[in-house]
Amino acid sequence: MDEKNRGIASYNSLLNTLINDFLKNEIKETEYNDIVPSHGAILEIVYKNGGRVQIKGLCDTLSKQKTTVTEMINRLVQLGYLKKENCTEDKRATYVVATEKAIAYRENFDIISQQLLNKVFNGFSEEEQDEFTRLMLKAIKNFN
């Protein structure tokens, strides 16, 4: 194995830090500065599912423990971005639903997400972008 490849954990950590710092700065510039970068993963899934998603689905998609996801959801509920709804067909199931505040934030969310992609992929060809994403997903899959 090439010596530079041995630093993969450090590279990943550095990229994660840079992305989080970028997101914090961009979010701070909006009127929705009570959001933190980790909330973005929850909101993205809620947005992609039409504003309503089952909590179990969030846990499965994020590959995080239910307690971690529940804490993030509870914080977003407290901040007014989400509300919880019990399923009428299955009493064991609970959904999170985007509130008006979350819907209003969507435009900022999409803009910040695009700015992040532009930053990360600056100087990458379309093929390099696809390959980078493919290889990241492949490495993640190795842990499942």
Choose among 66, 131, 144, 54: nearest CA to 91.
Answer: 54
Average model confidence (pLDDT) for the chain? 92
Q: Is the pLDDT of residue 20 over 90?
A: yes
Report d(CA 4, CA 11) in Å as an integer.
10
Contact call for residues 36 and 24 (beta carbons, < 8 A): yes
Burial of 106 (0-12, 13-18, 19+ CB in 10 A): middle
The model's pTM is 0.86
Which CATH number do you get for residue 59? 1.10.10.10
Contact call for residues 82 and 96 (beta carbons, < 8 A): yes
pLDDT digits (tens, 9 = 90+) for 61-73: 888 888 999 999 9
Range of the domain at 124: 3-141
**How many structural domains comprise the chain?**
1
pLDDT at 143: 86
Q: Which is more confident, 89 or 26? A: 26
